[in-house]
Amino acid sequence: MNNDSTALYAFRKYGNTVLRAAFAFCGSYAESEDIVQDVFLSLHTSPKTFNDDEHLKAWLLRVTINKCKNLKRSFRFSRTCSIDELEQSEAIYEISTEGRELRRQISELPRKYAEVIFLHYYEGYSIKEIAGILEKNENTVGSLLKRGREKLRAELEKEDESCGETIIKTL
């Protein structure tokens, strides 16, 4: 595949995955769209060789996470959003009330825990795959996942006994 077809193929196959990952990390649909464009533009403009589709997907997610981190560190990043934007993002993803609450709680965790929880539970990666994506040791990823679940469980129990009961059982 040449550069043009690799970027197009990747966008068609993994565009929604990259968008979901970007949205999960930055919480703004508009910012997520910009990040997706940057990710696929990077793939298009810089020649890359991938072993298989999983390697391509891992690269896309790694670049997405890095671009989200860069956005969070940037001067223009703000933690607020308009009500219109919030309503739009809720309508697009049509997440249940419990799902929204869980996503909010995950986003409030320290980034190192939120990353591994998102990649494991939302994207279905194994600890070994996450270790490769985040360039960390497998034992470190396992520990981060365990501690992240514990922190999330504690927050859910503390916030609301009845609302978090169903979610806590899955953790």
For residue range 52-95, list pLDDT tens digits in order. 999 999 999 999 988 888 887 765 555 455 555 555 554 444 45
What integer pLDDT is reported at residue 147 of this predicted model?
92
Q: Give the residue with greater pLDDT, 152 vs 84.
A: 152
Q: Specify whether the backbone of 125 is left (phi greater than 0), alpha (psi in -120 to 50) or beta.
A: beta
CATH architecture of 96-171: Orthogonal Bundle (1.10)
pLDDT band of 13, cuts 50, 70, 90: very high
pTM: 0.54
The most confident of the ranges 28-32, 34-38, 94-98 is 34-38
The pair of three-digit structure tokens given for residue 50, joined into one six-digit string: 């991938």
DSSP type of residue 121: I
Write the CA distances from 161 to 50, 95, 98, 102, 156, integer angstroms: 47, 21, 13, 14, 7
CATH architecture of 1-94: Orthogonal Bundle (1.10)
